[in-house]
Amino acid sequence: MKVSINVNKPGAAPGLIFVAPYTVFGATMIGQTGALIIDQAGNPVWFRPLDSRFTQNTDFRVQSYKGEPVLTMWQGTISGTQSEDPNLPAGDPEPGAFFQIINQNYKVIKKLTAKKGFTSDVHEFTITKQDTALFTAVKQVPADLTMYGGPADGYFDNYSIQEVDLETGELLFFWDVLAHVNPDDSMLPASSATSANNIWDCFHVNSVEEGPNNTLLISMRNMWAIYLVDKTTGKIVWQLGGKKSDFTFEPNATFSWQHDARFRSRTRISLFDDACCASSSSPPEGEARGLILQLDFHNMTAKADRTYYHDPALYVQSQGNVQKLSNGNQFVGWGQEPYLSEYRSAGNNKKDPSLNLLYDMQFPGQNLSYRAFKDKWVGLPFYPPSIAVNPLCEDTAIVYASWNGSTETVAWKVLAGPAPNKLSEVGTDAPRTGFETDILVHSIGPYFQVKALNSSGQTIGTSQIIHTGQEKE
């Protein structure tokens, strides 16, 4: 997909942008679904398209595995993107989904699925400091929901938190949400199950991360709540938000339908406050925003420490995230709305949403990315660069050079000649310009080849030799 840059001011953090474009059912997908790395100017750096618009990647980002940088993502089909009448609650993964880890050469080095009959969930796949995989998973559990106001022949859309040894596949930790959280505390009425094959998405777990002292921080969108769980006992240490919050909220600190809860310190938590919606027809609670809360564990209060609003205001039905960048800036993916933004740490307020906004990118049409990230990345493709040639008149041709995923290519060397074993350099080295560089050369070949050069002038990749089919008379 081609993107638009709405705001681009000095002070943005270094790095590339990581998104995974797809769209909702009924919307036109512009481009293809897949995993996409873009530079700040909007140029693609690496794109791995998927073979169907109904297959998606989510949570595409840079992590570390065994001390090396890797790319991680979820892949599968999301309910609500492939049919007007989905068989599962909107946003649920369909069976067959999996997680994957890709190395710097863009080779898939690990594939992983959830255990105990659960489906690998779109929301979270984290490689821990112990090089284990921590993720969310979902399973439909038959239940009589009449006591909650739902159908008798219903189902809980139950979630689990799982931790798996990436080397052996052994399940190291399992936390069953239904065993610890009361469905009656859900902000989504059980009657909603009748529009989703009698499945009640009462919890909708959408993030988990390791916290201090062997704990887990877990966000549940449909509970409007964030939980701290003791991994040893499985008990909930405290609940932030929802019907049974252990904290009281100061003005402007409340949140709803939230995503992506993260510890910033022992007393500060960031989240994406969707403030919307029980359903596509429900009114929003308010504007979406990035939010950092300051927690006071003595008085058990929460106050808004930083807020990040979009200009113009956005009302976001689902998804979204807030990421702290290397220079302290904050990076916000706006989920179901087609934007991502970068702010100075100090943030802004509803009255002045352009304050401290440094960067804003917009996707085309109704394309979206569940989360968006910005990180440094060195891509070293195992496959060769690509070349195409357009012969012109006389002794000239345009050579097109690209190398999907190479972050180290700064220039191209063009070789041409009358035979594959008689190639020589034609012209001076051409600086890389965006994803594909077009180079005018004074040669008709008819054999051509390009070499990718790094910042030291070394050859780091060589294309195949192609024949244009035109011979010099």
Q: Which domains does the chain have, with CATH numbers?
A: 4-375 (2.120.10.80), 386-467 (2.60.40.10)
* 279 has a pLDDT exceeding 90: no
Residues 403-438 pLDDT 10s: 999 999 999 999 999 999 999 999 899 999 999 999
Q: How far is CA 435 from the centre of its chain?
A: 21
pLDDT given at position 470:
61
Residue 281 has pLDDT above 80, yes or no: no
What residues contact 373, with CB distance under 8 A and at least 6 apart? 17, 18, 19, 60, 61, 62, 321, 323, 331, 333
User: pLDDT tens digits for 319-350?
Assistant: 999 999 999 999 999 999 999 999 999 999 99
Instruction: Look at residue 377 and give its three-state secondary structure.
Output: coil
What gap in Å lies between CA 182 and CA 90, rounded to an integer? 21
Look up residue 421 and give its two tokens. 């074993």
Per-residue model confidence (pLDDT) at position 213: 96
∠ CA 380-382-388, nearest 5°, is: 95
Structure tokens at 336: 């179901």
CA 127 – CA 135 distance, rounded (Å): 9
CB 286 within 8 Å of CB 253: no
Neighbours of 147 (CB within 10 A): 11
Which pLDDT score, from 0 to 100, does residue 318 have? 96
pLDDT for 81:
87
Q: Is the pLDDT of residue 117 over 80?
A: yes
Question: Out of 110-124, 275-289, 305-319, 386-400, which region has the weakest mean confidence (pLDDT)?
Answer: 275-289
The pLDDT of residue 427 is 87
Torsion sign over Cα 282, 205, 359, 349: positive
Mean pLDDT on 239-260 = 98
Is residue 472's pLDDT more than 70?
Answer: no
Return the beta strands (E) in 311-396 as ranges: 321-324, 330-333, 339-343, 357-362, 373-375, 386-391
310 token code pair: 């979009």
Is the model's pLDDT at 473 over the cut of 90? no
Whether the CB-CB separation of 357 and 7 falls below 8 Å is answered with yes
Q: Collapse the DSSP code of 378 into the 3-class scheme (helix H, G, I; strand E, B; otherwise coil) and give the result.
A: coil
Mean pLDDT of the 217-243 span: 98
Q: What one-character DSSP code corresponds to residue 13?
A: P
Render pLDDT for 51-65 as a digit per residue (tens, 0 to 9).
Answer: 999 999 999 999 999
Please tell me the predicted confidence (pLDDT) of residue 83.
80
Nearest alpha-carbon partner for 175 in 101, 118, 225: 118
Measured CA to CA, the distance from residue 450 to residue 466 in angstroms comes to 10
Q: pTM for the whole thing?
A: 0.97
pLDDT value of position 471: 55
Cβ atoms of residues 100 and 112 within 8 Å: yes
Average pLDDT over residues 112-135: 98
The token duo for 94 is 């369909």
pLDDT digits (tens, 9 = 90+) for 345-381: 999 999 999 999 999 999 999 999 999 999 999 999 9
The pairing of beta strand 68-76 with beta strand 56-65: antiparallel
Q: In angstroms, how far is the first alpha carbon of the chain from the final one? A: 42
